[in-house]
Amino acid sequence: MVASIVIIYKRGASYFCDAHGCFGGGYSGAYAGDTAEAAALFALTERGRYIDNNPLGGTLLAPQEVRAAIEGDKD
To the nearest whole number, what is the mean pLDDT of the chain?
A: 92
**Number of domains present in the structure of the chain:** 1
Give 75's pLDDT tier (boundaries 50, 70, 90).
Answer: low
The residue segments making up the domain with residue 31 are: 4-71
DSSP for residue 25: -
What angle in degrees, to the nearest 10, is found between the helix axes of 64-71 and 36-46? Answer: 70
pLDDT above 70 as % of the chain: 96
In angstroms, the CA 46 to CA 40 distance is: 10
What residues form DSSP beta bridges with 29?
none
In angstroms, the CA 49 to CA 43 distance is: 10
